[in-house]
Every structure is written in structure tokens, then in C-alpha cells.
Amino acid sequence: MDFDFIYNAYFKDVFLYLRSLSANDDIAEEIAQETFVKALKSIDTFDGAKDIRAWLFTIAKNTYFTYCKRQKIFVDKEPSDSISDPQSVFTERIFDEESSFLIHQFLHSMREPYKEVFSLRVFGELSFEKIALLFGKSPSWARVVFYRAKTQIKEYMEVLSNE
């Protein structure tokens, strides 16, 4: 496998995924670099049965949690993932800075797998099929979990707007 190609093709995806977990560009870049170092060291163990992006995301997620433990940063059991179509008022709110911060704040308290599926979809820009591969579930499962996560966030934002 051409590792330069893998790095160039997937670095942005891994970085965006990690940024969705950490909400910090510097941490995301540091962990993304560490992810690719680990991937390079163990590329010969990758059997090709799964999507390489799913393999890289798994390494990234585990590296992020190790980082959090070392830094004594407390996070929920697993990361989150993300969005479907950028058509609704909901997606417009994500791009509003204040709303975006409130959503990220809520994401950190959200339970798994809602948090990770929402982050992967919105911030990692992964398809439901790829998210399903990561979890070993069906694309329908990923859609339902994403919809429920989105509903939780909408309800949270409505409560805040009514206060």
C-alpha cells in the first residue's frame, strides 16, 4: 500500500473527525499526526476487509481517548458523529458561532452512540454506510441513531431559546 496516498487521501477526514471529538484544532492535528504514525507502524496488519477510513478512525478514536486519559480530560465512553443534508434550519444553526458552541457543549454531555454517530456524520462528513461499517451495524441503524441525536440537540436548543 502506498502510505503517502493514504495520508493525502484521508488526513482531512481523520482531522475533521478528531476535531469533532476534541473541539480543538491543535489537539485534533496533533492526534491526527499520531494516528498516521501508528497506522504506518501497523499498516501490514491491515487486512483490507474493512474500509481503510474506518480503520483509521478506530485508531484515531483510541488515540484520542488515550490522550484524554493522559491529560485527565474526562469524556464519555465514546466519541460522536454527525449530519445528513445541509438543508434544514438545524444545519444553519450549526454555522452560527454561538449556536455552534452550545451544540458542541451539549455534544460533550450526549450519550453514546448518539454523540459519535452525530459527529461522524456532521463533522466527519461520513455517509451512513461508512458509519455503519465503523459500528458493525446497518446503514438504517446509523440513520436512526443520527436522527435521534439530531432530535436531542433540537430539543436542547429549543429549551435554550425559550429561556
The confidence score (pLDDT) of residue 74 equals 54
pLDDT value, residue 97: 62
The predicted model scores a pTM of 0.48
Rounded to the nearest angstrom, the gap between the alpha carbon of residue 1 and the centroid of all alpha carbons in its chain is 25
The mean of the pLDDT values for the chain is: 78
The CA distance from 138 to 117, in Å, is 13
Which tens digit of pLDDT belongs to each residue from 96-110?
566 677 777 788 888
Nearest Cα residue to 115 out of 157, 156, 152? 152
Do residues 143 and 111 lie in contact, with contact meaning Cβ atoms separated by under 8 Å? no
- For the stretch 122-142, pLDDT in tens is 877 888 888 888 888 888 888
CA dist 14 → 27, 28, 29, 161 (Å): 12, 9, 9, 33
Burial 73-95 (b: 16+ CB within 10 A, else e): eeeeebbbbbbbeeeeebeebbe
For the chain (163 residues), the mean pLDDT of every run of 10, in chain order, is 79 88 85 88 78 85 84 53 43 57 80 86 83 88 88 84 74
Give the other-Cβ count within 10 Å of 129's Cβ: 11
